[in-house]
Amino acid sequence: MVQKKERVIHSRVGPLHVEQDRLILFPKGLVGFEAQRDFALVRLREDSAFFLLQSCTDPQLGLMVADPYVYVPDYRIKISTVEQELLRLRNIREAVVLVTVTIPPGKPEDAILNLVGPLVINIRLRRGMQVPQNQLRHPPRLHLAGGGQTGEGPPCEPS
């Protein structure tokens, strides 16, 4: 039996046992958090599209992120050659894309996906980067409860 190596991360939601293969290096940090390099991507519920991107060194710093493709199946982003090199991407199948989530205080049903600053992760090397989109062909934000991006896209009504 091969036991997966685990590491205990002190997160904003308490201590978490994180498998080594969920640890991600962001060599340039995140926008506004440039000094933070080591993060863990934690799934708090098996069937959820939402994750916690938790700093391994600052327990207070945990960002809510989500898989955008559950809600925006045609989400397309541009990754420049320089960014692909920094991520050491060999092909696009190695890339996992996440977006940050904004929750208005006390209104989790009004969660918003932010589509301008996607996080791209090379899943083979567990190396990540935030890749600002200067020219986005989607509306910049998706209100999950609002039935999609300014009337487009599939409705996502709470059931």
Partner 1 sequence: MLILTRKAGESLYLGDDIKVTVLRVQGNQVKLGFDIPRDLTVHREEVYLRIKEENLMAARATEQDFFMATELWSRKKKE
Asked if 156 touches partner 1 (CB under 8 A), the answer is yes
Asked if 152 touches partner 1 (CB under 8 A), the answer is no
CA atoms within 13 A on the CB side of 81: 0
Cα-atom radius of gyration of the chain, to the nearest Å?
Answer: 16
| Cβ–Cβ < 8 Å for 148, 156 | yes
Distance (Å, whole) CA 38 – CA 96: 17
Asked if 149 touches partner 1 (CB under 8 A), the answer is no
Backbone angles phi, psi at 144, to 5 degrees: -60, -40
Residues listed for the chain: 159
Q: What are the structure tokens assigned to 12, written together?
A: 């904003």
Asked if 74 touches partner 1 (CB under 8 A), the answer is no
Which one, 3 or 73, has the nearer CB to partner 1? 73
Q: How far is the CB of 140 from partner 1 (least distance, A)?
A: 8
Which one, 1 or 32, has the nearer CB to partner 1? 32
**If you search the block for the tokens 């998706």, which residue do you land on?**
142
Asked if 61 touches partner 1 (CB under 8 A), the answer is yes
Q: Among residue numbers 88 through 107, which ones bind partner 1 (CB under 8 A)?
A: 100-103, 105-107
CA atoms within 13 A on the CB side of 34: 1
Give the residues lining the site for partner 1 (CB under 8 A). Answer: 12-13, 30-33, 44-45, 47-50, 52, 61-66, 70-71, 73, 80, 82-83, 85-86, 100-103, 105-109, 111, 114, 116-117, 130, 132-134, 140, 144, 154, 156, 158-159
